[in-house]
């Protein structure tokens, strides 16, 4: 009874959710039967309901691949590295920008750091290759001319360098974009807190550390949880474009493998199975981290 009353009281909230809910049911849940593709030998002509059922065959195929553990290792290490190195930087950038007094300088830095988001992956990787080209690249020429290295720069062919290139070029491209949400959150900080802190003689660093950072903590935690839910989701395009025959031992990740083996023949079912495998692990990770966050006294995402 009480529940019904509480529903009635807040009936407006349900109206607010309704349009999005209709969308989700219509375009996410109605086509959901497509996951069946992962469990059959799907043939487009036969349709999803008419193709032969093979159960977990494609999952077994994936897990038994010779390179399975290599793929898992490469994928995990890339995304953990991206997370550890890449997650804090937009926060630092936002905090640093927030304490800049010159409005003009702030605006310039903000806008410029955001621009790389618009560089397509093809161009990004293209530039990496041009800059780091073993002999003709600007980096190689520079290092050789000041005598730091002798001979060609082997960064691109070095399997150990791959993850650094991948992660740091990603940070270069994404830090400004990533800081947007934190800058917005920082604008919600009550200025009177800063005024009071100043009166107490707090330095700017202390203000950033004790006022700004805690006040954006909910946003940080939310984004951290969301990132953990994407740990196996290393996208294929960039890794694929950065691959060469000498760095394949570290640059082959789940998505590039699936993409390339799909090229050899249409492998709807195999890619669906691997996708589902990734999703389930990601979802479990998300739920775990979410629970952990709640235990630590933060708001989870649900």
User: Which residues between 139 and 158 bind other proteins (CB under 8 A)?
Assistant: 141, 152, 154, 156-157
Minimum distance from CB of 131 to other proteins (Å)?
8
Q: Which residue from 56, 60, 96, 196 is in contact with other proteins, where contact means CB under 8 A? A: 96
CA distances from residue 84 to 88, 111, 137, 210 in whole angstroms, order as listed? 7, 25, 29, 22
Minimum distance from CB of 80 to other proteins (Å)?
19
Tokens of 297: 């006294």
Nearer to other proteins by Cβ, of 85 and 248: the residue is: 248
In angstroms, the CA 138 to CA 140 distance is: 5
Minimum distance from CB of 78 to other proteins (Å)?
18
Tokens of 1: 């009874």
User: Which H helix or E strand runs over 52?
Assistant: strand 52-53
List the interface residues with other proteins, window 22-81 (CB under 8 A): 23-24, 26-35, 37, 41, 43-48, 61, 65-67
In angstroms, the CA 245 to CA 66 distance is: 18
Minimum distance from CB of 16 to other proteins (Å)?
4
In angstroms, the CA 69 to CA 65 distance is: 8
Nearer to other proteins by Cβ, of 164 and 204: the residue is: 204
Q: Which residue from 265, 295, 296, 297 is in contact with other proteins, where contact means CB under 8 A? A: 265
In angstroms, the CA 180 to CA 38 distance is: 38
Nearer to other proteins by Cβ, of 166 and 270: the residue is: 270
In angstroms, the CA 119 to CA 139 distance is: 21
List the interface residues with other proteins, window 200-239 (CB under 8 A): 201, 203-205, 215, 218-219, 222-223, 226, 229
Residues 165-204, one symbol each (x = binds other proteins by CB under 8 A, - = not), give -------x--xx---xx-xxxxxxxxxx-----x--x-xx
Q: Which residue from 119, 161, 213, 224 is in contact with other proteins, where contact means CB under 8 A? A: 119
Under rule CB under 8 A, residue 138 binds other proteins: yes
Q: Which residue from 97, 167, 274, 289 is in contact with other proteins, where contact means CB under 8 A? A: 97
What is the sign of the dihedral through the CA atoms of 45, 49, 53 and 55? positive
The stretch near other proteins (CB under 8 A) out of 71-79, 80-88, 109-117 is: 109-117
Q: Which of 170, 33, 198, 10 is nearest to 99 (CA)?
A: 198
Q: Which of 90, 168, 176 is nearest to 124 (CA)?
A: 168
What is the sign of the dihedral through the CA atoms of 120, 115, 174 and 223? negative
What is the sign of the dihedral through the CA atoms of 52, 55, 58 and 60? negative
Tokens of 100: 């800049």
Tokens of 169: 């070029």
Q: Which of 300, 249, 254 is nearest to 279 (CA)?
A: 254
Minimum distance from CB of 288 to other proteins (Å)?
14
List the interface residues with other proteins, window 71-90 (CB under 8 A): none
Nearer to other proteins by Cβ, of 78 and 95: the residue is: 95
């Amino acid at each position: 009874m009480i529940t019904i009353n509480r529903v009635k009281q807040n009936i407006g909230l349900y109206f607010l959710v309704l349009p999005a809910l209709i969308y989700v049911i219509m375009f996410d849940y109605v086509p959901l039967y497509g996951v069946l593709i992962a469990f059959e030998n799907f043939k487009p002509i036969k349709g999803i309901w008419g193709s032969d059922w093979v159960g977990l065959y494609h999952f077994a195929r994936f897990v038994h691949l010779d390179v399975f553990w290599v793929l898992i290792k490469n994928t995990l290490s890339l995304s953990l590295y991206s997370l550890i190195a890449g997650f804090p930087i937009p926060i630092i950038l936002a905090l640093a920008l927030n304490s800049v007094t010159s409005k003009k300088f702030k605006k310039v830095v903000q806008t410029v750091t955001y621009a790389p988001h618009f560089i397509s992956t093809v161009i990004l990787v293209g530039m990496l290759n041009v800059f780091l080209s073993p002999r003709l690249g600007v980096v190689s020429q520079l290092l050789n001319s000041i005598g730091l290295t002798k001979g060609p720069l082997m960064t691109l062919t070095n399997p150990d360098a791959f993850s650094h290139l991948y992660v740091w070029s990603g940070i270069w491209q994404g830090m400004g974009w990533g800081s947007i949400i934190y800058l917005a959150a920082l604008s919600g900080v009550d200025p009177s807190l800063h005024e009071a802190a100043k009166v107490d003689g707090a330095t700017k660093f202390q203000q950033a550390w004790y006022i700004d950072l805690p006040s954006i903590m909910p946003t940080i935690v939310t984004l951290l949880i969301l990132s953990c839910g994407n740990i196996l989701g290393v996208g294929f395009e960039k890794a694929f474009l950065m691959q060469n025959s000498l760095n394949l031992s570290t640059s082959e990740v789940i998505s590039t493998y699936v993409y390339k083996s799909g090229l050899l023949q249409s492998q709807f079912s195999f890619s669906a199975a691997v996708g589902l495998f990734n999703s389930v692990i990601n979802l479990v990770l998300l739920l775990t981290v979410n629970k952990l966050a709640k235990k630590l006294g933060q708001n989870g995402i649900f």
